[in-house]
Every structure is written in C-alpha cells, then in structure tokens.
Chain A
Amino acid sequence: MKLIAPIFQITLLLFSLLFISATPAQSPAGYVIGDVAEDFRLMNVDGRFVSLSDYKDPRGYLIVFTCNHCPYAQLYEQRIIDLHRKYAPLGVPVIAINPNSPSVVPEDSFDEMKKRAKQKKYPFAYLFDEDQEVFPKFGASRTPHVYLLDSKLKVRYMGAIDDNPEVPTAAQKRYAEAAIDAVLRGELPAQNYTRAIGCTIKKKP
C-alpha cells in the first residue's frame, strides 16, 4: 500500500497537469491595445453585408459583441442604443456583433436577431458572426464585450461599457464613453482595458 499510494498520486498529478495545460486560466488570444483590427464582412439583420470600410469618414468604431439571450447583454441593451445615438453623429457608430452559435443558444439565431433588432428599433448594424471567425480575432470572450477602434482601426479600448450593469444611473465610471471622448479629442484613453462579468461566448460544439 505504501508503494502504491505515491504511484497513484503521481499518476493523478500527471493527469491533472495534462488537464490544466488543456484549460489555461487565460483570456483567449486576440488583439492587444494598439493593434490594427482586420476588417470583416458580416451579414446585418437587414440582409446586407457590412464591413468597417463601408462607413464614410468615421472617427472611430465601437464594436460591441452582444447577443439576444444574455441577461447582461439585455441590461446593457438600452445603453448600447444610447451610445450609438450619442456618438454616431460625432463619427463613432456602434457596430453590434452576435458571436454566439445558435446551435448552443437558439435565442441567438439570425431570425431571432432580426426580431430583436426590429422590436427594440436598433439604430445600429447588428451583425451575425456566423462562422465565429471574427470574435476570436478580437479576443472577445463574453457578451457584452466592447472594443473601441480609432479611425485607423487601431484598438484603443477593450472591456466593459461601465461599472454598474444593474443600475445605469449608479455607474461611477463610464469606461466606453470616456474612451470614445478621448479618441475624439485625439488622445489615448486613460483606461484602455477593463474586466467585467458577462455570459461566455457560446462556441459551436
């Protein structure tokens, strides 16, 4: 027994090391601040393809990975609409992208996206990352997860919209707005990265 126990323990350890290396506690790779984002071509809820290059003379883009089903995304939905209404006229439109696989979450299908966009009168493009190739490039991991690009497509901010998901009026720090304001002034955002709780992006099995 004395001999067997250590062998068993070591075997377990080796197995666990394998397991741990397979699931690192790391954010998925993706853009870092200052990287130039690659343009994409994704289907919008109006049936047309949208690319960043379609926007005329933008001063930036607020890419928001969001979806229908996630309660966090729902809490932020009105704030995302408000951000677009405030900043699109200043040259920084919101571009919403649903990264979830409908095979995992049927509520996030393209048809359901169309319904949601219509029902809530989304003033911005709501695109479907159907092949799930765009969100990994950004390194998006949850919804909502926002990325601010400047006019040269350089990533200037990534993270949360603000610091209070539940009560918008109680937010102390409005990270996304502060970052957009900085970019509009031609400055670098003072805070360019934040973490937030959210729903994990649902990958195709």
Chain B
Amino acid sequence: MKPVIPMRFRPICLIIAILALTAPAAAAQNYAVFDSVDQLQSYIEREKNATVVVNFWATWCKPCVAELPLFEELNRMYDDQDLKIILVSLDFRSQLERRFVPFLKSKALESEVVLLADQDADTWIPLFDSMWDGGLPATLVLNGKQRIFVSGEFSSVEELKKVIDSLRADSPRFRSPVTCGSKLAAGQ
C-alpha cells in the first residue's frame, strides 16, 4: 500500500488522532436538520469547489455504524478545502435526544453530520441516484459535474479512496464509464 499522506503531514494526523481519542466526550457535535431534501441539495451544491462525499446512514443501521470510521479516516487524509464529507443521518426525529445525540457524543465524529428529516423518501431517494432503492448505507461522491453512487458499505478506506481518485483523475476518456445514475439536478 502506497502511503496516502505525505510524510511531512503525518505528525499532524497523529496529533489529530490523539486529540480525537482523548477529546472529552462532553462536547456534543452540532448538526443541521433539513426538513426538506431541497435544503440538503443546496447545502451540498455549496461545496462545488471540493470533492464531496455524501454518506447516507443512521444510528440504527449496523453496517452504516461499522462503516463510519472509514469516513473519519478519509476526513483526516484530505484537506477540508479539497474534500468535504457530509454524513447524512436518516435517524428518526422522535429519537434525536434519546438516541442520536448520545450517539454523536460517544463517537465524537470529526466529519460533518446533518440530519435529513424529509419523510417523503419515494420522492427524494431518486434525486441522489435513479437506481437507488433506499437501502442503507449508500454513498454519493461528487466532483464538479461527475458523480459516482455506491449502494452498500465500503470494506476499507482504500476502496473509498479508489472511487474518489477515479473521479478526480483528470482524464475525459475515463469520465463517462465511471459516472452513473442521474444528475443531482440543481433546483429540483
């Protein structure tokens, strides 16, 4: 495995990792709540200068929770200006205080967490990918106009990185085969 992070940045990563491990669990993470998918879409589109990784998850989804450390690792690998991770939780509003907030507190996630509370799933699911039927987890990687949607969990951060690199490789020859699904249409 080729080192992903240049040597000179490694001490910084180590410090971040130590901080993450030793951070007091008292500070609960802030999270935005989006009542409608339009708000989430505008929010994602704001990040048009970076690669955006949108992961759909929920505290009740076991494979999703198992996968979260991969996104955390990815978050530490890249500069925030360069790659932005948005963990979109589909947790239930009625369980926010009882389940969601304590979960965030215990995990002390560094990646950004938002909550999508739009109930009309049949309408919003296909906006992210026409072939997605709603199973969790699911991940959408956006880079400018290019996009890759992956249904199901990643087993390693390398797998995730491959998807990102394939989008970022600046070769038009390879663009069409790796982009799939519908566009995240603006204003939809």
Q: Report which of B136, B150, B162, B166 forms a contact with A199, defined as CB distance below 8 A.
A: B136
Q: Is A130 an interface residue (CB 8 A)?
A: no
Q: Is B133 an interface residue (CB 8 A)?
A: yes
> Is A13 a contact of B152 with CB atoms below 8 Å?
no
Closest to A194 in B: B122
Chain B residue numbers with a CB within 8 Å of A200 are: 61, 63, 135-136, 152
- Report the stretch among B28-36, B44-52, B73-81, B169-177 that lies at the interface: B169-177
> Is A13 a contact of B166 with CB atoms below 8 Å?
yes
A17 to B165, CA, bound (A): 11
Q: Is A154 an interface residue (CB 8 A)?
A: no
Q: Is A196 an interface residue (CB 8 A)?
A: yes
A51 to B23, CA, bound (A): 56
> Is B133 a contact of A27 with CB atoms below 8 Å?
yes
Q: Is B131 an interface residue (CB 8 A)?
A: yes
Number of interface residues of A (CB under 8 A): 38
Q: Report which of B60, B93, B150 forms a contact with A23, defined as CB distance below 8 A.
A: B150
Q: Report which of A71, A165, A195 forms a contact with B133, defined as CB distance below 8 A.
A: A195
A166 to B119, CA, bound (A): 8
Render A120-142 as a binary contact track against B, CB cut-off 8 A, 1 for contact: 00000000000000000000011
For window 132-187 of A, CB contacts with B under 8 Å fall at 141-142, 159-160, 163-166, 170, 172-173, 175
> Is A20 a contact of B166 with CB atoms below 8 Å?
yes
> Is B171 a contact of A25 with CB atoms below 8 Å?
no
Chain B residue numbers with a CB within 8 Å of A12 are: 162, 165-166, 169
> Is B131 a contact of A26 with CB atoms below 8 Å?
yes
> Is B152 a contact of A16 with CB atoms below 8 Å?
no
A71 to B149, CA, bound (A): 25
User: A25-B129, A166-B93 given as contacts; is B159 within 8 A of A19 (CB)?
Assistant: yes
Q: Could you list 5 further interchain pairs (A-B, Cβ under 8 angstroms) beyond the known A10-B171, A198-B136?
A: A163-B119, A170-B119, A195-B122, A195-B133, A200-B61
Chain B residues packing against A (C-beta within 8 Å): 58, 60-63, 90, 92-94, 119-122, 125-126, 129, 131-136, 148-152, 159, 162-163, 165-166, 169, 171, 174, 177-178, 180-181
Chain A residues packing against B (C-beta within 8 Å): 9-10, 12-13, 15-17, 19-20, 23-27, 70-72, 75, 105, 141-142, 159-160, 163-166, 170, 172-173, 175, 194-200
